[in-house]
Amino acid sequence: MDNRQATQNLATFYETLTPQSVSQLRTIYAPEASFKDPFNEVQGLPAIEGIFRHMYVALEKPHFVVTHQVVDGQQAFLTWEFRFHFKRFDTQTLQAVRGASHVVFNGQGLVTMHRDYWDAAEELYEKLPVVGGLMRWLKKRANT
C-alpha cells in the first residue's frame, strides 16, 4: 500500500474513532506494533486497544481532528487536536490537547511504531483543578 494512502487511512480512522471501532485497530496496526505517549508505553495490538478503550471510560466525547500530515518514505508525521470533556469535573468545558504523532509503516501499510508527542503539563495538567494552579505557578516562576 502507498504510504500516503496509509497515512490518510490512519487520519480518517482516528477522526471517526468510536468505542465500537476500537476493535478495528487491527486494520491499521501490525500485531506487534509499539505505542508511546506521555502516559503509556506498550507493545502489541491488545495493549494499544486497551489504551483507546480506556480513553472512552475516562473521558466524555473524545474526538481527534487531524490538522496536517507529512509522509516521508515509510514514516509519517501527523499533527492533531484531541478534543474531549472531563467526566469528573468541569464537564461543560470542551478541552483540547494539541499534539503530533510519528508513525512508521511496514511494507503492508500497517503501523509498526506510533509515538505521540504533546506537552502534558501545558495541555492537560494546567487544566485540572488544584494541580492546574500549581502548574501555572511553576511555569510563571520558571519564566521569571
Cell triple for 37:
505517549
**93 lies in which domain range?**
3-118
pLDDT at 144: 73
Place of cell 480512522: 13
Domain membership of residue 89 (yes or no) is yes
pLDDT tens digits, 65-107: 999 999 999 999 999 999 998 887 766 778 888 999 999 999 9
Task: Sort strands 29-36 and 111-117 into parallel, antiparallel or unpaired.
Answer: parallel
Count Cα atoms within 13 angstroms, Cβ side, for 50: 11
**CATH number (domain holding residue 70):** 3.10.450.50
Domain membership of residue 135 (yes or no) is no
CA–CA dist 44, 29 (Å, integer): 9
CA–CA dist 138, 34 (Å, integer): 33
Domain membership of residue 136 (yes or no) is no
Does the predicted TM-score (pTM) go above 0.75?
Answer: yes
Domain membership of residue 45 (yes or no) is yes
Domain membership of residue 24 (yes or no) is yes
Helix (H) / strand (E) element for 113: namely strand 111-117
Number of domains in the chain: 1
Domain membership of residue 128 (yes or no) is no
pLDDT tens digits, 22-78: 999 999 999 999 999 988 999 999 999 999 999 999 899 999 999 999 999 999 999
Domain membership of residue 137 (yes or no) is no
